[in-house]
Amino acid sequence: MTPAVFVAGTDTGIGKTHAACTLMHALRAEGRRVCGMKPVASGCAETAQGLRNDDALALQAASSEPVPAYDEINPIALREPLSPHLAAAHAGVTIAMLALQTAFRALDARYDTVVVEGVGGWRVPLAPQLLASDIPRAWGLPVILVVGLRLGCLNHAVLTAEAIAADGCRLIGWIGNCIDPDMAAIEENIDTLHALLPAPCLGILPHGLAPAHAAGLLQQGVQQL
C-alpha cells in the first residue's frame, strides 16, 4: 500500500468520509499505522475547542494511536457550509497550499499511511488559483474514487475518472458506496462501472453499515494495492 492516498468523490454528499474511514479500518487490520486528513473542511461547528467538522472528527477517530491533533487533520476549518472558496472569503481566510502541505508532511512522517480526503468533487475551488484536485497533483498522491451509487453515478464516475487522468494523477481503485438503498438495477450499474472505470473496484459498501464493521469488505481490495 502506498504511504498516502487521496480519496476523491464523484460529488458532495456521496460518502467520501464513510469510505475513507472504512479504508482506514481495513488498513489497520493489515497492521498499518494509519491516520486520516481533511485538509479543508467547510460547514464546521463552533465548539469550546474551536471550529470542528464532523467528517474530520470521524477521520480522527478512525486513526491509529497515537491519535493526531485535530489541527493536523484539518488545518483549514471554515464555519459556513459552502464551497470552500466562498466560505474562506466570507471568513477572511486564505487557503494556501503551503499550510496544507506542512500539516500533511507532519502526519506522513509519523504514520505508515495517510488517507487524505478531498472536499466535494474533484474540481471544487479552494481559492482563486487553487482547486481541490491540486492537492493530489502537488503531493503526488494516487487517487481512490468513491462512487455514490445512485441515479446519475455512471456519468459522474466516468467524467471524474477522465478528469483525474487529464490532471496527470493515477487512479488506483474505486469504492462503490450504496447511498440510495432503493437504487434501481444496482447490480447492473455496478457491472457497468466495472466495465467503464479504468481501475479495479476495491469493494462495495452497503447502506448503513459502520466503517469498523464494513472494513472486511475492502480487505481483499486493499491487499491488491
Going from the C-alpha of 89 to that of each of 41, 85, 196, the distances in angstroms are 14, 6, 38
Q: How many CB atoms lie within 10 A of CB 166?
A: 9
Q: Of the listed 16, 25, 38, 150, which one is catalytic?
A: 38
Residue 38 annotated as catalytic: yes
Which secondary structure element, helix H or strand E, spans residue 58, and what is its range? helix 54-62
CA angle, residues 110, 125, 133, in degrees to nearest 5: 50
Helices (H) and strands (E) counted in the chain, each on its own, are 10, 12
For strands 130-131 and 76-77, give the pairing: unpaired
Residues annotated as catalytic (active site), given as ranges: 38
